[in-house]
A and B are shown apart, each in its own frame.
Chain A
Amino acid sequence: MKILIDYIQLFFQEFIFYYALAVMFSYVIIALLSAWEMRRYLHKNTPTDYRNLLVSEFAPSVSIIAPAYNEEPNIVDNVRSLLSLHYNNYEVVVVNDGSKDDTLRQLIMAFELVKVDFAINTRIKTESVRGIYRSESKALERLVVIDKKNGGKADALNAGINVAKNDLILCIDADCIIEPDAVLKLVKPFMDEPVRVIGAGGVVRIANSCEVQHGRLVKVHMPDNLLSRFQVLEYLRGFLMGRLAWSRINGLLIVSGALGLFDKDIVIKCGGYSTKTVGEDMELIIRMRKYMHKHKLPYKLVYTPEPLCWTEAPANLNVLGRQRNRWSRGTLESLLMHKDILFNPKYGTLGMLSFPYWLLVEWLGPILEFIGLIILVTLIALGLVHWTYSLILFAMVYAFVLVISTLTIIYEELSYRQYTSGRDLIKLWILSFLEPFIYHPLILYWEIKGNFDFLTGKKAWGKMSRNGFR
């Protein structure tokens, strides 16, 4: 027994310590890379006059695909805002994924839709389509509405892809608020890279408590709700620091499902979104990258750090818990479905860096942390803890987290500076002190639970219930 405890203690002290150091080191690298990439992006795009794209007859054509499930309260406003984006050559495909509420009827009434004859080019198999609707008004020619049997988000997106007639597809959540310039800013990278760009992702921001008028964001505020406020910090860190760094080395493994512009050809050749996972956005990216590597086609996946998309974050523990549970299951599923990539030099950065990072840090991290906590509790119970040493170790991690969070806020301050009120900034900063004690343990719990549910084969769909803007 004594020996066992010694070993556990050794494991706790040595392994976890050096693992933590390695993770911290990776964060430092990520912070540096993202600073570099942010500088490059701002440098390149600040003098850009996007009107060039707006007025050109050679601007690439885009189909916006917005799947909607029970979105009755906001659907009309949101579609309206999609129809008035600053772009010329685009269509809006709204997919009603068998909503149980009045989503479809709202659309029909607001936009004078009628059912039309439409031959669907079924390149990706989906649940059956009940009808295609278009507006009787000539002013709304760019709107197409698909009504189909419920099949989940991935299935709805696939149905949209089948109907979309343009070369680029912008996949979004119908309940997001898209900035008017979003298409312009996402399309540009498709035109100014020397290699083929297969996708472009954007930053997702939290819309809670922001002023929204007519489906458009008018003023940015820090959420009143504490839980959503934590997510602001978390999203900033994830998008401004994490993804930006990965895009620097062309190692992005995920483009948020809330906003991503893709090369339709490649998406179709890969077979579209997978309905077998709850992490369809991540899984598609991995599959697209794999496809490009397999066919030895040079490519790039780009990322725009600009705030282009605003989403309503879960404001209560239940909904957030389900969302995070689903996210960790989605990640694990996507990684397992493509485990052959791991340390496979054939896949370049993807196989040697991104994929291992996701597995060893993003997935393994919470699990090791959880084990560490259990061991710690055991040791405390056995009275074997050296309090001073443990405190120093904890203080180190805490101080490091504070540095990273502060750095995130500084990145935001130096780039897009959305929280213009000084009080909002202070609130955000204070939050970074509390996060490790309040928010982080919750997230950890849900991640562990997600893994557990995955192992036990539970496949509950976390339904998002939304209050709606207005």
Chain B
Amino acid sequence: MPIPKILVIEDEELVRKVVEFRLKKEGYDVYQAKDGGEALELIEQHQFDVILVDIMIPYVGGLEITQKVKSNPKTASTQIIVVSANGLENVILEAFALGADDFIAKPFNLPELMMRVKKHIKQPVG
């Protein structure tokens, strides 16, 4: 089985770094982007298994990325976990309506995030 590829999209460096290192420790192939523009370029180039995306990121927002990834047949199988500092009901509902596979509120529990990533990778593609 190939090494799962994960993309972390987050504008806060501190969080991005910790998540990145933590995922690398689990043996994943981790990519990172600090805004929506960078993220979309990476999504063009690679086929990711899981994308962790913050909603409030510069340029192209997390929800729009979710929608773009899910509406493109090439990438629709990618699992998307939406992260948001804003756990308000309407935000969560919107994220799921756009095709997000999971939602986690910020500040989050690192082990929990790891478990969720693991769970989404195990799910058979398609």
A residues with CB within 8 A of B: 51, 54-55, 57, 80-81, 83-84, 86, 88, 137-141, 180, 213-216
In the bound complex, do residue A55 and residue B59 qualify as a contact, i.e. CB atoms below 8 Å apart?
no
Q: Which of B27-41 contact A (CB under 8 A)?
A: 35-37
User: From B91, which residue of chain A is reached at the shortest CB distance?
Assistant: A88
10 nearest CB pairs, A to B: A214-B59, A139-B63, A139-B64, A139-B67, A214-B37, A84-B61, A216-B58, A84-B58, A88-B86, A55-B86
Complex Cα gap A54–B35 (Å): 19
Question: Could you list 24 A-B pairs, sorted by A, with CB under 8 Å?
Answer: A51-B85, A54-B86, A55-B85, A55-B88, A81-B58, A84-B56, A84-B58, A84-B59, A84-B60, A84-B61, A88-B88, A137-B64, A137-B67, A138-B63, A138-B98, A139-B61, A139-B63, A139-B64, A139-B66, A139-B94, A214-B36, A214-B58, A216-B35, A216-B58
Number of B interface residues, CB 8 Å? 21
Complex Cα gap A68–B49 (Å): 40
In the bound complex, do residue A80 and residue B60 qualify as a contact, i.e. CB atoms below 8 Å apart?
yes
In the bound complex, do residue A138 and residue B94 qualify as a contact, i.e. CB atoms below 8 Å apart?
yes
In the bound complex, do residue A216 and residue B56 qualify as a contact, i.e. CB atoms below 8 Å apart?
no
Among A80, A140, A180, find the residue whose CB has the most chain B CB atoms closer than 10 A: A80
B57 touches A (CB below 8 Å): yes
Chain A residues within an 8 Å CB radius of B97: 138
- Measured CB to CB, the closest approach of chain B to A59, in angstroms, equals 10
Chain A residues within an 8 Å CB radius of B91: 88
Determine the main DSSP class of B at the interface with A: loop
- Measured CB to CB, the closest approach of chain B to A195, in angstroms, equals 29
In the bound complex, do residue A214 and residue B35 qualify as a contact, i.e. CB atoms below 8 Å apart?
yes
Chain B residues within an 8 Å CB radius of A54: 85-86
Chain A residues within an 8 Å CB radius of B56: 84, 86
Complex Cα gap A83–B59 (Å): 8
- Measured CB to CB, the closest approach of chain A to B76, in angstroms, equals 15
In the bound complex, do residue B64 and residue A140 qualify as a contact, i.e. CB atoms below 8 Å apart?
yes
Complex Cα gap A54–B85 (Å): 8
Complex Cα gap A282–B86 (Å): 36
How many A-B pairs have beta carbons closer than 8 Å: the answer is 52
Chain A residues within an 8 Å CB radius of B63: 138-139
Chain B residues within an 8 Å CB radius of A51: 85
Q: Which of B42-61 contact A (CB under 8 A)?
A: 56-61
- Measured CB to CB, the closest approach of chain B to A373, in angstroms, equals 49
In the bound complex, do residue A57 and residue B88 qualify as a contact, i.e. CB atoms below 8 Å apart?
yes
In the bound complex, do residue A81 and residue B86 qualify as a contact, i.e. CB atoms below 8 Å apart?
no
- Measured CB to CB, the closest approach of chain B to A77, in angstroms, equals 8
Chain A residues within an 8 Å CB radius of B60: 80, 84
User: From B66, which residue of chain A is reached at the shortest CB distance?
Assistant: A139
Chain B residues within an 8 Å CB radius of A80: 59-60
User: From A88, which residue of chain B is reached at the shortest CB distance?
Assistant: B86
Q: Which of B84-115 contact A (CB under 8 A)?
A: 85-88, 91, 94, 97-98
Chain B residues within an 8 Å CB radius of A140: 64
- Measured CB to CB, the closest approach of chain A to B57, in angstroms, equals 7
In the bound complex, do residue B88 and residue A84 qualify as a contact, i.e. CB atoms below 8 Å apart?
no
Beyond the given A51-B85, A57-B88, A84-B61, could you list 17 further A-B residue pairs with CB under 8 A, ordered by the A residue number?
A54-B85, A55-B85, A80-B59, A80-B60, A84-B56, A84-B58, A86-B56, A88-B88, A137-B67, A138-B94, A138-B97, A139-B66, A213-B37, A214-B37, A214-B58, A215-B58, A216-B35
- Measured CB to CB, the closest approach of chain B to A48, in angstroms, equals 16
Chain B residues within an 8 Å CB radius of A81: 58-59
- Measured CB to CB, the closest approach of chain B to A388, in angstroms, equals 60
User: From A141, which residue of chain B is reached at the shortest CB distance?
Assistant: B94
Complex Cα gap A292–B30 (Å): 58
In the bound complex, do residue A139 and residue B37 qualify as a contact, i.e. CB atoms below 8 Å apart?
no
User: From B95, which residue of chain A is reached at the shortest CB distance?
Assistant: A139
- Measured CB to CB, the closest approach of chain A to B33, in angstroms, equals 12
Complex Cα gap A180–B57 (Å): 10
Complex Cα gap A54–B107 (Å): 13
In the bound complex, do residue A215 and residue B59 qualify as a contact, i.e. CB atoms below 8 Å apart?
yes
Chain B residues within an 8 Å CB radius of A215: 58-59
Complex Cα gap A81–B58 (Å): 7
- Measured CB to CB, the closest approach of chain B to A229, in angstroms, equals 28
Chain A residues within an 8 Å CB radius of B98: 138-139
Complex Cα gap A368–B74 (Å): 71
Chain A residues within an 8 Å CB radius of B64: 137, 139-140
- Measured CB to CB, the closest approach of chain A to B23, in angstroms, equals 25
- Measured CB to CB, the closest approach of chain A to B107, in angstroms, equals 10
- Measured CB to CB, the closest approach of chain A to B75, in angstroms, equals 15
Complex Cα gap A140–B59 (Å): 13
User: From B37, which residue of chain A is reached at the shortest CB distance?
Assistant: A214
Chain B residues within an 8 Å CB radius of A84: 36, 56-61
Complex Cα gap A177–B86 (Å): 24
Complex Cα gap A214–B67 (Å): 20
User: From A85, which residue of chain B is reached at the shortest CB distance?
Assistant: B56
- Measured CB to CB, the closest approach of chain B to A451, in angstroms, equals 44
Over the window 60-74 of chain B, the binary record of Cβ atoms lying under 8 Å from chain A Cβ atoms (1 yes, 0 no) is: 110110110000000
User: From B56, which residue of chain A is reached at the shortest CB distance?
Assistant: A86
Chain B residues within an 8 Å CB radius of A138: 63, 67, 94, 97-98
Complex Cα gap A215–B58 (Å): 9
- Measured CB to CB, the closest approach of chain B to A85, in angstroms, equals 8
